[in-house]
Each structure stands twice: as C-alpha cells, then as structure tokens.
Structure 1
Amino acid sequence: MLLLILIKIGCSKELVFYPSRKFIMADYAQQIKDRAEKIIDFTPEEISQITPDEIQRIFYDLQIHQIELKMQNQELRNAQEELTRSRNNYHYLFHQLPIGIVIVNSTGFVEQVNDTLLEWLGFDKGQLVKKHLSSVIVEADKVHFNSRFDSFFKIPDGKSMLLSLSGRKNQALKVKMLAKKANDKDAGTNENAANQTLIITITEVNDLIAVTA
C-alpha cells in the first residue's frame, strides 16, 4: 500500500516540459496517475484481487514516464548550455571588435559600452555606463551632437555623425558614428518607443582615411 501511495505522489508532481510536448506529456502523466488512484481507492480486499499483469503494467508505464522525464531534463540542460555558449560568444565579440560600440537609450544615456571604446577613451569598466554620451564629446561638438541626436535616434539609417571624443589626456579623438535600432520591431506604442535602444558603432576617422587611401 505504501508503494502505491508513493506511485501516486511521484505521478502528481508538477513538471516542466517544452511547449510542443507539454500537453501530451501532461495528459500521459494524468492517465498514469488516474490508474494509480483507482488502485489506491480500492479496499485492501479489492487490492488483493488486482492481477499481477495490471500492477506490472503500471510499473512499466511509470518507468517509461521516468525515462521520458530524464530525456526532457537533458534537453533542457543542453538548451541552457547552448544559451550560455551563445552569450559568452556575444560577450567576447562585443568587447573584442576593433571598433567602438556603445548602446544608448532614447535620451542618450549609455546602457552598454565595449572594451575597445573604453580603451580609446582611457576609461575603466563601468565609468561610462549610465552617463550621457555627450559627456565624452568635446565641448565644440556637443551642440552639434545634441541638436541631431533625436533625429539620429528615430531614423538612424543612412545617417552618420562626424565629431570628436575626449580621449586620453584630453586629446581629441576624431570619429565617425553610425547607428542601428536594437529593437525597432517593438516600437509600436509610445511606451515601447521609450524603451528602445540605439547601437552606435564608432570608428576612428584616421582608420577610415587609411583604409580609403
């Protein structure tokens, strides 16, 4: 009887499956649970009359169910590992690209910045995050940047900005900025538009001249 109660408890646990198989597996688990409950609801006299074949079938179904759960758990672990690898690859590429990359919100405040740009400017990690991008633009170009930022943010395609950043030892670093919306498909409402971000790529003008020459 204790074993039958354990079967009932084991079959009634809430489990997580992939959406494509969730309802099929849940229905299958419910069938096993119902069969076990029918046995548990019997009196001791009735239980003694259950055939060995019926008990064997319940154990067989339960074992199959446990194997399927292990397979599902392995698939979940594999998916998590793949996601972790993808994130690590993105992190590596983002910081190792030979161009500066900065991600800003709709008001121009920095949300992410790569190591390349930080190295150009002589900043440590975290020094530029949550600061306005204009804080690293030389005074002579701030008015130009601020006056163009709204239109640059709303429709960045085909636009660029040439200006100077304040680099190491206050030396001006002449750069070209290009941009692309990070989540343009989600801009259906004003609320979504406020949550949009802009990915700005920054290239030193001297590098551009060297490539062109």
Structure 2
Amino acid sequence: MKKKWDGKDRRSSLRSEAEKVVADIAPPRMDADPGEVLMHELLVHKVELEMQNEELRKAHLEMEEARDSYVNLYEFAPICYITLSREGLISKINLTGCILLGVDRYQLISRRFSHYVAAQDRDRWHRLFMGMMKHPGAEKQAFDLQMTRPDGAIYHVQLNCLNWDADEKDNVLRIAITDISKLKLAEAELKIAATVFDSYEPILVTDADNIIIRVNAAFTETTGYSAAEATGKSPKFLASGYHDEAFYAQMWECINTDGHWIGEIHNKHKNASIYIEHMHITAIKNSWGEITNYTGIFTDKARNRKRPKKTC
C-alpha cells in the first residue's frame, strides 16, 4: 500500500533523497571548512528544490488531466445535465445541454427553466417542480416533457430529476435530459404501421431468410391458415403448383434487382381450392443496405369481389 505523506514527512524525505544525490561530494564532517559545509548545504538545498519543482510539475499535469477528464465526461456527455436553483433558475448546464436547447450558455445561466418548456406542458412542469422542491432528498423521478427551441420547434425529452439536499441553504435540483424525439416519432410510425397491418388486405412479413414471422387477420381469412400455422414456414407452403421454377426465379431476380415485385400468383387455400392473388412483394433494408425482411401484400380477386361496399 502506497504511503500517504504529510507535508513534514515529505520534506524530510526530499531532504534525504537530495543528500543521497550529492553524497559523493560531501565534505568530511570532522575537519571540513565552514565555507565547504555551507556550499554543500546550498547544493543539497538546490537539489531538494529541483525535486520539489518536479513534483509540483507532475501534480500540475495530473490536475490538468483530471480537468480534461471532467470536461470530457461532463461538458461532452451524450445527454444534457442541468442544475436548477430552488427558484427554478438554471445555475449550471453542460455544453450538450446548450446544444439541445439551442441557446448559448451565457444566455441560459440564471434564466428560468420553464421558459424552455413548451406552453402546453408548463403548468405540468410547475406542479412537478414544486412537488420535488417540497420533498428534499426524495428518490429520483423520471417523466417525459415537451420543450421548445428559440425557433419554435417542439421536441420531446425525458427528464431524470434528483433533488439534492446536501445543504438546506443550497437546495438544488439536478436534471439529466435525454432527447427522445426520434423515439416518439418511431412510436407514432409503429402505431401507423400497426393500423396498416391490421387493414383489410392480407399481409405477411418474413425475415431475411424468407421465413414468415407475422401475418394479419386478413391473411388467415384469405388462406385459411392461422398465424400459428403460417409462422415459421416459407411462403412456398401456399404454392399451388401452377407456376414453374422459372416463374419464381424471375420474380426473385426482380425483387433482388429492383427491391420489389408486382404480379399475379395462383396460390392454394387450406381447403385445397386455388385462388388468384395480385401480389406486391417488397424487400426491406436497414441503414447499411442489408435486407432484413420481406413484406407481401396481396389481394384475393375472388375475395375482393365479395367485399361489401362502404356506406357513409
């Protein structure tokens, strides 16, 4: 275990180390000339000062490294950090927070945080803030909020709040803010996709290996196969035998080249009857251009003729 030095011990240690450095030129103790003894002491002191200076230099470098680490961890953190006073004023904010709010730091300090909360959420924020201020030292609270930038743009964030009560005179609220706008957009798109998926038209979705992972109710109605019966199989199990291998080879060449295929297919119902589908197959790719799924949306012509007319 490394010894923890106090000031007196460290000075004594440096003195001993300095004496060792100049030990070879130390004058005899018994009959040394006073001038030689003085020069020796000055030399020891010089070496000791140089050692002290080197230690100070190393300590200064360590402090700079610690400061740089703080800047990297706090200022450039992937999320926004804000400290609010008990009056709801911004007292500290990192650079990521300034970028998120779209305002320079000097314009944010001592400004009321609620000024950057979207109008529709300000009353809710006020109630939440007052509640947290009334219960110092309470557990961390998390909630979503809508905020606004100077240009009027609305964005969604998640706040993780901790009421810091280390000193009653300096009761502050520490907040970590994460922009969840993309997540909210994705949720909205998923709702739209779910609505489309549950539409009247039969739909099936496969993985990249063309294995069915999901079908909708209209698929079951058209084919006679339940979701449990279809999931885990290749769409080939619907084949009627009407088309030859060249037909399917040309279809897949079109999908792999153009990303989709549209045409008519003769498939077989669970009850062995043959029906004609107008099929639209699409290859779904990720951001790297890799195919992750295939979707098939089709219309059974016979079923479509039986579809009831819409009424107002």
TM-score by length of 1: 0.63
Give the Å deviation of 1:196: 4.8
Quote the residue 2:41 is aligned against. Answer: 61
The one-letter amino acid paired with 2:51 is: M
2:168 counterpart of 1:193: yes
Give the Å deviation of 1:172: 1.9
User: In the TM superposition, what whole-angstrom CA distance separates every residue of 1:137-170 from its partner, at most 9, and x where no partner exists?
Assistant: 1222222222222443523533113211112521
Give the Å deviation of 1:203: 0.8
Q: Work out the CA distance in 1 between the residues paired with 2:34 and 2:114.
A: 76
Quote the residue 2:152 is aligned against. Answer: 170
2:2 counterpart of 1:20: no
- Considering fraction of residues, name the structure with more helix: 1
How does 1:136-155 map onto structure 2 within 5 Å?
136-152=116-132, 154-155=136-137
Identity of paired residues, percent?
A: 24
How does 1:1-213 map onto structure 2 within 5 Å?
20-22=6-8, 25=11, 52-152=32-132, 154-155=136-137, 157-180=139-162, 187=166, 192-207=167-182
* Rg larger for: 2
Does structure 2 conserve the Cα–Cα contact (< 8 Å) formed by 1:156 and 1:178? no
User: In the TM superposition, what whole-angstrom CA distance separates every residue of 1:77-101 from its partner, at most 9, and x where no partner exists?
Assistant: 2112211222122223323222122
- Unmatched 5+ stretches in structure 1: 1-17, 30-50
Give the Å deviation of 1:23: 6.7
Q: Work out the CA distance in 2 between the residues paired with 1:63 and 1:156.
A: 61
Q: Work out the CA distance in 2 between the residues paired with 1:83 and 1:155.
A: 32
Does structure 1 conserve the Cα–Cα contact (< 8 Å) formed by 2:139 and 2:162? yes
Does structure 1 conserve the Cα–Cα contact (< 8 Å) formed by 2:157 and 2:180? yes
Over 3 Å counting, the alpha-carbon distance change for 1:156 and 1:141 in structure 2 is: farther
- Unmatched 5+ stretches in structure 2: 16-30, 191-312
Please provide the CA RMSD for this pair. Answer: 3.3
Q: Work out the CA distance in 1 between the residues paired with 2:180 and 2:10.
A: 59
- Considering fraction of residues, name the structure with more strand: 2
Give the total of aligned pairs.
Answer: 167
SS in 1 for 2:56: helix
Does structure 2 conserve the Cα–Cα contact (< 8 Å) formed by 1:120 and 1:168? no
Give the Å deviation of 1:125: 3.2
User: In the TM superposition, what whole-angstrom CA distance separates every residue of 1:160-186 from its partner, at most 9, and x where no partner exists?
Assistant: 13211112521222111113467x6xx
Does structure 1 conserve the Cα–Cα contact (< 8 Å) formed by 2:140 and 2:163? no
Over 3 Å counting, the alpha-carbon distance change for 1:106 and 1:62 in structure 2 is: farther
TM-score by length of 2: 0.45
User: In the TM superposition, what whole-angstrom CA distance separates every residue of 1:49-88 from its partner, at most 9, and x where no partner exists?
Assistant: xx64444333323322221222112211211221122212
Q: Work out the CA distance in 1 between the residues paired with 2:39 and 2:156.
A: 74
Quote the residue 1:12 is aligned against. Answer: none
Give the Å deviation of 1:111: 1.9
Structure of greater relative contact order (alpha carbons < 8 Å, 6+ residues apart): 1
Does structure 1 conserve the Cα–Cα contact (< 8 Å) formed by 2:81 and 2:94? yes
SS in 2 for 1:170: coil
Over 3 Å counting, the alpha-carbon distance change for 1:82 and 1:151 in structure 2 is: farther
User: In the TM superposition, what whole-angstrom CA distance separates every residue of 1:82-124 from its partner, at most 9, and x where no partner exists?
Assistant: 1122212222332322212212233322122222222232212
Over 3 Å counting, the alpha-carbon distance change for 1:114 and 1:74 in structure 2 is: same
Quote the residue 1:32 is aligned against. Answer: none
Give the Å deviation of 1:24: 6.7
